Protein backbone atom coordinates (compact mmCIF):
# COMPACT_ATOMS: atom_id res chain seq x y z
CA UNK A 1 0.00 0.00 0.00
CA UNK A 2 1.35 3.39 -0.99
CA UNK A 3 1.34 6.27 1.44
CA UNK A 4 2.22 8.84 -1.24
CA UNK A 5 0.01 11.86 -1.59
CA UNK A 6 -0.22 15.23 -3.34
CA UNK A 7 -1.53 18.46 -1.88
CA UNK A 8 -3.86 20.51 -4.08
CA UNK A 9 -1.90 23.66 -4.95
CA UNK A 10 -3.04 27.21 -4.37
CA UNK A 11 -1.09 30.41 -3.83
CA UNK A 12 -3.07 31.24 -0.66
CA UNK A 13 -5.01 28.57 1.25
CA UNK A 14 -6.57 31.09 3.68
CA UNK A 15 -8.92 32.50 0.99
CA UNK A 16 -11.46 30.98 -1.37
CA UNK A 17 -9.77 29.24 -4.30
CA UNK A 18 -9.99 26.83 -7.21
CA UNK A 19 -6.93 24.56 -7.04
CA UNK A 20 -4.64 23.43 -9.79
CA UNK A 21 -5.60 19.92 -10.95
CA UNK A 22 -3.96 16.72 -9.73
CA UNK A 23 -3.59 14.06 -12.40
CA UNK A 24 -3.73 10.38 -11.46
CA UNK A 25 -2.90 7.17 -13.25
CA UNK A 26 -5.77 4.88 -12.34
CA UNK A 27 -4.14 1.69 -13.62
CA UNK A 28 -4.60 -0.98 -10.95
CA UNK A 29 -6.46 1.29 -8.49
CA UNK A 30 -10.22 1.72 -8.50
CA UNK A 31 -10.24 4.10 -5.53
CA UNK A 32 -8.07 6.72 -3.86
CA UNK A 33 -8.25 8.65 -0.58
CA UNK A 34 -9.09 12.35 -0.25
CA UNK A 35 -8.49 14.35 2.93
CA UNK A 36 -9.31 17.96 3.71
CA UNK A 37 -8.61 20.15 6.75
CA UNK A 38 -11.73 22.31 6.95
CA UNK A 39 -12.70 24.99 9.47
CA UNK A 40 -16.14 26.09 10.66
CA UNK A 41 -17.81 28.08 7.87
CA UNK A 42 -15.65 26.62 5.08
CA UNK A 43 -16.78 24.35 2.22
CA UNK A 44 -14.70 22.09 -0.02
CA UNK A 45 -16.08 20.61 -3.24
CA UNK A 46 -13.98 17.84 -4.79
CA UNK A 47 -14.38 17.76 -8.57
CA UNK A 48 -13.20 15.14 -11.08
CA UNK A 49 -13.16 14.26 -14.76
CA UNK A 50 -12.03 11.21 -16.71
CA UNK A 51 -10.36 13.16 -19.55
CA UNK A 52 -9.28 16.74 -20.29
CA UNK A 53 -11.97 16.91 -23.00
CA UNK A 54 -14.69 16.44 -20.36
CA UNK A 55 -16.14 18.94 -17.88
CA UNK A 56 -15.39 18.62 -14.16
CA UNK A 57 -18.25 17.25 -12.06
CA UNK A 58 -18.77 17.57 -8.30
CA UNK A 59 -18.20 14.24 -6.56
CA UNK A 60 -17.91 15.19 -2.87
CA UNK A 61 -18.87 18.20 -0.74
CA UNK A 62 -17.66 18.78 2.82
CA UNK A 63 -18.64 21.70 5.07
CA UNK A 64 -17.50 22.89 8.51
CA UNK A 65 -15.44 19.84 9.56
CA UNK A 66 -12.42 17.98 8.22
CA UNK A 67 -12.97 14.86 6.12
CA UNK A 68 -11.19 11.67 5.09
CA UNK A 69 -13.02 9.83 2.30
CA UNK A 70 -12.36 7.09 -0.23
CA UNK A 71 -13.42 8.11 -3.75
CA UNK A 72 -13.52 6.45 -7.17
CA UNK A 73 -10.39 7.13 -9.21
CA UNK A 74 -10.55 9.60 -12.11
CA UNK A 75 -7.89 11.03 -14.40
CA UNK A 76 -7.96 14.52 -12.86
CA UNK A 77 -9.17 16.05 -9.60
CA UNK A 78 -9.36 19.61 -8.30
CA UNK A 79 -10.96 21.33 -5.31
CA UNK A 80 -13.17 24.38 -5.20
CA UNK A 81 -12.87 25.96 -1.74
CA UNK A 82 -15.17 28.56 -0.21
CA UNK A 83 -13.23 29.96 2.73
CA UNK A 84 -15.09 32.21 5.18
CA UNK A 85 -12.93 31.42 8.24
CA UNK A 86 -9.76 33.05 6.84
CA UNK A 87 -7.85 30.04 8.21
CA UNK A 88 -5.95 27.60 6.03
CA UNK A 89 -8.01 24.99 4.18
CA UNK A 90 -5.65 22.24 3.00
CA UNK A 91 -6.65 19.34 0.74
CA UNK A 92 -4.65 16.30 -0.38
CA UNK A 93 -5.15 13.05 -2.26
CA UNK A 94 -3.39 9.70 -2.37
CA UNK A 95 -1.58 9.04 -5.63
Distances from the Cα of 71 to the Cαs of 27, 35, 39, 57, in angstroms?
15, 10, 21, 13
Question: Per residue in 47-95, pLDDT tens?
Answer: 999 999 999 999 999 999 999 999 999 999 999 999 999 999 999 999 7
pLDDT, residue 1, reads 43
Structural domains in the chain, CATH included, are 5-94 (2.60.120)
Give the number of residues written for the chain.
95
pLDDT of 16 > 70? The answer is yes
Distances from the Cα of 76 to the Cαs of 4, 27, 32, 37, 52, in angstroms?
16, 13, 12, 20, 8
pTM (predicted TM-score): 0.91
The mean pLDDT of the chain is: 92
Helix (H, G, I), strand (E, B) or coil at 23: strand
Average pLDDT over residues 6-17: 91
Amino acid sequence: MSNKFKTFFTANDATSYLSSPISRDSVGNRTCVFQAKINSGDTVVLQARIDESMEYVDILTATDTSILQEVVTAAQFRVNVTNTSNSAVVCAMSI
